Amino acid sequence: MSLRDALPTPRIHRDGLNPNAVLISLSIVMLAAFWTLDMVSMAPNRIVLGTGYSAPAAFGWPGALLATLLFCAISFLAWQPSQRHYQALLAAVVMLMALMPFGLIVSSFLLIEPELAQARLGLGAGYWVTLFILLLCLVELRLRLNLTRLWPTLLLSGIALVWWLCATLWLDSLALVQEFKARDQLFLRAVGQHMTLVGIAVSVSIVLGLALALLMRRYARLQKVAFTVLNFLQTIPSIALFGLLLAPLAWLAVNVPFLAKLGVSGIGTTPALIALIAYSLLPMVRNTYTALEEVSPVTLEAAKGMGMRASQRFWQVRLPLALPVLLEGVRITTVQAIGLTAVAALIGAGGLGTFIFQGLGQAAMDMVLLGALPILMLALVVDAGLGALAEALRPGGAR
């Protein structure tokens, strides 16, 4: 008997695939969280702490059993994976995420008495864990089905639309909705401030990053110095950098009237933009420099042989071929800036971070979520959109 015959034969399931351990593990954890953690909480008003409720109490036994069946279906389909089963898994995950706001509608009907006008329905730990694991399942299914980044973005956009409709029409008792209605104008202004800060910081970093990358390619000695300085800036905590900028900017505002007229001061928008640009430069410069350097010399030599001048080779050959990697730098820079802009609220620059820090100061977690959730959604949309664009621009296009 040969050594190959003596070795144990691995158990192969349908279509020659082994069980998907990732999806099975995620579904088990999700099922455990669903039945052991509080799914929602109900408080008679904004001041009193809420009382937690399990899945059967929050959604009723029919709703809890329906969700349990869907969780078990994910485990069953992942045990015998195939292309068709992965498609069914994707449908199950999307259905669960779309049904979650309807579960909150059921909870508000079951738990909130009509005479309790100030009652608030909050999201429990089990609800957040379930939502987070469903997002992880979506990431795994995207990889298994070989989908571009655009598809999860479209699916999440559709799910977000369902959530928004439910919140607008039937979820007035949801604590997060009540926080929004009490501050809707401030919220919209904060979103505008947040996106303006991010847009200006990223735009400036793109221009400066491209200029620095070109200078580094021309002057080799500049590369080490520039990367050393940019890496050093990344090591400074954001709050510390705001503090370091406060004194010199305040001095400039006092001693240079022209800058004071432009709005330069030790707090507010100016130090926020300087800090955001400083943090955005490293990923932008690194990706731009790498993208320009990795263009094949053979391709450039062929372009030169066709009679192209140096400027034509750069704009018509090198830059288009480097664009996908350059866009990855823009993606990383933008996502990083969206998150860091929240800290700028500490120095009076506004933005969604205002709600986060006000909520922390008042121990009002729903106000914290009012600022944190839009930041998360903006980051996901930008990451998926720019990632999909970079994939489409790569040779061969998006798969």
Min mean pLDDT across 5-14, 38-47, 324-333, 375-384 is at 5-14
- How many Å apart are CA 129 and CA 336, to the nearest integer? 24
- How many Å apart are CA 83 and CA 81, to the nearest integer? 7
Encoded amino acid at 123, one letter: L
> Is 112 in the same domain as 253?
no
- pLDDT tier for residue 397 given thresholds of 50, 70 and 90: low
**CATH assignment of the domain containing 256:** 1.10.3720.10
> Is 131 in the same domain as 253?
no
Q: Of the candidates 377, 277, 379, 291, which has an alpha carbon nearest to the alpha carbon of residue 332?
A: 379
> Is 27 in the same domain as 163?
yes
What is residue 314's DSSP assignment?
Answer: I
> Is 273 in the same domain as 346?
yes
- Among 175, 204, 223, give the residue marking a domain's end: 175
- Among 154, 175, 196, give the residue marking a domain's end: 175
- pLDDT tier for residue 9 given thresholds of 50, 70 and 90: very low
Vertex 132: Cα angle to 130 and 137 (nearest 5): 90
> Is 112 in the same domain as 209?
no
pLDDT digits 0-9 by tens, 326-335:
888 899 999 9
- Among 143, 175, 207, give the residue marking a domain's end: 175
- How many Å apart are CA 133 and CA 223, to the nearest integer? 43
> Is 153 in the same domain as 230?
no
Q: Measured on CA atoms in the order 87, 90, 96, 101, is the torsion positive or negative?
A: negative
> Is 168 in the same domain as 277?
no
> Is 326 in the same domain as 384?
yes
Whether 159 shows a pLDDT value over 50: the answer reads yes
Domain that holds residue 164: 3-175
> Is 196 in the same domain as 332?
yes
- How many Å apart are CA 53 and CA 43, to the nearest integer? 11
Whether 254 shows a pLDDT value over 90: the answer reads no
Whether 298 shows a pLDDT value over 80: the answer reads yes
Most confident stretch, 71-85, 141-155, 197-211 = 197-211
Average pLDDT of the segment spanning 349-364 = 86
Residue 398: inside a domain? no
Q: Enumerate residues 6+ apart whose C-beta is below 8 A from 246.
A: 266, 267, 271, 347
Tell me how far apart the 2 most distant CA atoms of the chain are, in Å: 92
Residue 273: inside a domain? yes
> Is 236 in the same domain as 109?
no
The total number of structural domains in the chain stands at 2
> Is 268 in the same domain as 127?
no
DSSP assignments along 104-153, one per residue: HHHHHHHH--TT-TT-EEEE-HHHHHHHHHHHHHHHHHHHHTT--THHHH
pTM: 0.82
Query: Rounded to an integer, what is the distance from CA 100 to the centroid of its chain?
Result: 20
- The pLDDT > 90 percentage for the chain reads 19
- How many Å apart are CA 75 and CA 58, to the nearest integer? 24
Residue 287: inside a domain? yes
pLDDT digits 0-9 by tens, 163-217:
889 888 888 888 888 888 888 899 999 999 999 999 999 999 999 989 998 888 8
Whether 16 shows a pLDDT value over 70: the answer reads no
Residue 9: inside a domain? yes
Min mean pLDDT across 126-135, 284-293, 389-398 is at 389-398
Residue 151: inside a domain? yes
- Residue 204: predicted pLDDT: 93
> Is 154 in the same domain as 202?
no
Whether 10 shows a pLDDT value over 80: the answer reads no
Whether 228 shows a pLDDT value over 70: the answer reads yes
Whether 386 shows a pLDDT value over 70: the answer reads yes
- How many Å apart are CA 173 and CA 113, to the nearest integer? 11
